[in-house]
Amino acid sequence: MTQASTEMHAYYAQRAPYYDAVYLKPERQEDIAYLSQHLPDRFRGREVLELACGTGYWTQHIATSAKRLVATDWIIEPLDFARLRPGTVSVVFRQADAYALPLDLGVFDGAFAGLWFSHVPVEARVAFLQGLHRLLKPGARVVFMDNNEVQLRDFPLVETDAAGNTYQMRQLNDGSMHRVLKNFPTEAELVALLAEFGEQIEFSALDNFWMVEYVAKAL
Ligand SMILES: C[S@@+](CC[C@H](N)C(=O)[O-])C[C@H]1O[C@@H](n2cnc3c(N)ncnc32)[C@H](O)[C@@H]1O
């Protein structure tokens, strides 16, 4: 595990019981209402792999329309909360590292990761995408959604490393401070990166989030 991964692990394990507060922020409600409709529409009738599903906030929405949904996270504490989500009885929850996705998860024609891509170190992006695409059929629909710079009002950047990764300090309810790798890729950066993996790349800027969608190429 890298240092950033170890830090993430401790942070998300401890934060799991009250993680969902991020979905109660008043300024996010319009975006959340839109995404709660849009994501199920995008994945209707598809076999979907969700990465870093956390406490399953988006899982519960995608489950309403997907033909099959496998929701994964590497950290057991948020995953345990996700398993309790109403409406997810048909979802298969699996502990899986997004950087080492096992082939026995199956093959999918949809993939989603919410608030995850920002945590992928710049130098690990291509390997992460290669690992994901091993499990995707050509024509699979892929959606990544994440925080835009509005989130910096709550958590300003405190550090940038040699690879260009940026970091925030975040305090948990017990007062402990955690350094979290959090990147804010631009549309141009995402499009350049994803062109190798997909076509019909569409970037959307919401008030609080960005979203990028594409159709997987045959690799
Ligand atoms: C910001 S949360 C996003 C949770 C959820 N997708 C959402 O949108 O609410 C990031 C998630 O990444 C998970 N995570 C951290 N490292 C991971 C890894 N290597 N593989 C998969 N998930 C990981 C954490 O457990 C946490 O649930």
Q: For the whole model, what pTM was predicted? A: 0.97
Q: Is the C-beta atom of 121 inside 6 A of ligand 1? A: no
13 CA: nearest ligand 1 atom = 25
Note whether residue 154 is domain-resident. no
Q: Is the C-beta atom of 73 inside 6 A of ligand 1? A: yes
Task: Provide the greatest CA pair distance for the chain.
Answer: 48
Confidence bin at 1 (pLDDT 50/70/90) = low
Note whether residue 165 is domain-resident. no
Nearest Cα residue to atom 12 of ligand 1: 52
Q: According to the model, what pLDDT value does residue 68 have?
A: 98
Note whether residue 176 is domain-resident. no
Q: How far is the CA of 183 from the centre of ligand 1 (A)?
A: 14
5 CA: nearest ligand 1 atom = 16
Q: How far is the CA of 52 from the centre of ligand 1 (A)?
A: 4
User: What is the side-by-side order of every strand in the sheet holding 92-95?
Assistant: 92-95, 68-73, 47-51, 108-114, 136-147, 209-216, 198-205
Note whether residue 80 is domain-resident. yes
Note whether residue 98 is domain-resident. yes
Q: Could you tell me the two tokens for 98?
A: 């997004």
Taking a C-beta distance cutoff of 8 angstroms, is the pair 193, 209 a contact?
no
Note whether residue 175 is domain-resident. no
Note whether residue 161 is domain-resident. no
Q: According to the model, what pLDDT value does residue 6 have?
A: 85
**22 vs 19: CA distance, rounded Å:** 6
Instruction: For 28-85, write each residue's pLDDT tens digit.
Output: 999 999 999 999 999 999 999 999 999 999 999 999 999 999 999 999 999 999 999 9
CATH of residue 7's domain is 3.40.50.150
Work out whether strand 209-216 and strand 198-205 pair parallel, antiparallel, or are unpaired. Answer: antiparallel
User: For the chain, what is the domain count?
Assistant: 1
Q: Is the C-beta atom of 12 inside 6 A of ligand 1? A: yes
Q: How far is CA 82 from CA 22, 77, 165, 168, 214, in A?
A: 15, 9, 29, 25, 26
Nearest Cα residue to atom 13 of ligand 1: 52
Look up the domain containing 133 and give its range: 3-149+186-216
Instruction: For 99-149, write each residue's pLDDT tens digit.
Output: 999 999 999 999 999 999 999 999 999 999 999 999 999 999 999 999 999
Instruction: For 138-196, write each residue's pLDDT tens digit.
Output: 999 999 999 999 999 999 999 999 999 999 999 999 999 999 999 999 999 999 999 99
Q: Is pLDDT of 219 > 90?
A: no
Note whether residue 158 is domain-resident. no
